Amino acid sequence: MTRILAYRFSAFGDVAMTAPVFREFLEQNPDVEIIMVSRKNFESLFADIPNVTFKGINLDDYKGIFGLRRLANELMKEFNPDLIANLHDVIRTKILDRIYRRKGFKVFKINKGKEEKEELTNVWNLNKIQLKKTVERYADVFRAMGFNVELSHKLRPALGQKSGIGLAPFAQHKGKMLPLEKSYELAKILSKKQTIYFFGGGKKETETLEKWESEIPNTKSLSGKLNLAEELQKISELELMISMDSANMHLASLMGTRCISVWGATHPYAGFLGFGQSENDVVQVTDLTCRPCSVFGDKECYRGDWACLEELNIQKIVKAVNS
């Protein structure tokens, strides 16, 4: 049994994207075991994947170079890995890489395609092209180790009766989020035919979504009421999820649930469309040459008017739901 020590600490959506890759890689390579090191609260993402052992850590316990050296030693002692997979490639993981290389380990790291993404998000670049999908970049790390892995890019729907539509109207950055009044109107339209379940987190989002629940019949806010395992279970039971380009899209992918995704400043060309999700379910304003202006949606609007989100007609989403 070959044991691979893999690490990716953030962001939530990016960590979630590793899970379907692990599942298919390990099905095709049953003599491999993956030790996934990440933040403690991400454990449920990997709960049902055979041959994955999740090691949750609190990064505050391992600050600085000495803290990371202690972490590297602890992981080495506990798991005795054969190979190291850096699925993050940030300063913290680069330091871990160096420590492991000095100890004689073979370390393989993700190629995030930073220069290609900078070119893609240059507002003056009019020749935008699809870049490699992030899930394929993860798979490339294992291919570089000498393993074969062919990703299916297909959803695996959970068994059982499906009902209701999930709506996750929030995102970490303004550039990825439909104006809330549009999401509110969308919920009003869709709730006439289906029960709508609102997903969110944090005090402010929970307050907003509970207000919506009180104002729109046939809706229910789940914000702040479920832990991650319960949230995943609920998503697996939905007919459909509607999400911004955010972690909720990747949770839907993980649970085999179709997701209609809304994109503003970001674009599926950067490679972050959810695993197995259809490009036909991508909703975006297509006639803006400045898109995408950002990989993560964290930049200010170049034009100043957020046209990529303000001009998006929610009837496009309604049409996608009914298609």
For residue 62, pLDDT over 90 is answered with yes
Q: Is residue 251 part of a domain?
A: yes
Strands (E), 81-208: 83-86, 106-109, 165-168, 196-198
pLDDT score of 296? 94
Last residue within a domain, chosen from 79, 112, 144 = 144
**Number of structural domains in the chain:** 2
CA atoms within 13 A on the CB side of 299: 18
Instruction: Let me know the angle formed at the C-alpha of 256 by 251 and 178, rounded to the nearest 5 degrees.
Output: 45
Residues 133, 268 within the same domain? no
Does 160 fall in a domain? no
Which pLDDT score, from 0 to 100, does residue 243 have? 98
Same-domain check for residues 172 and 308: yes
pLDDT per residue over 160-173, tens digit each?
A: 999 999 999 999 99
CATH number at residue 44: 3.40.50.2000
Range of the domain at 44: 2-144
Q: Which of 287, 243, 296, 311 is nearest to 265 (CA)?
A: 296
Kindly tell me if the per-residue pLDDT of 323 is higher than 90: no
Please give the angle made by the CA atoms of 28, 32 and 35, to the nearest 5 degrees. 120
Same domain for 240 and 136: no
Does some domain include residue 156? no
CA 229 to the chain's CA centroid? 16
Same domain, 295 and 189: yes
Same-domain check for residues 30 and 82: yes
Alpha-carbon distances, residue 24 vs 52, 94, 131, 160, 289 (angstroms): 12, 26, 22, 22, 36
Domain match, 189 and 66 both:
no
Answer yes or no: do 172 and 316 share one domain. yes
> What Rg value do the Cα atoms of the chain yield, rounded?
20
Say what the pLDDT of residue 278 is.
Answer: 98
Q: What would the pLDDT profile of 222-246 be if each residue is shown by its tens digit?
A: 999 999 999 999 999 999 999 999 9
Euclidean distance between CA atoms 111 and 97, whole angstroms: 14
Does pLDDT of 84 surpass 90? yes
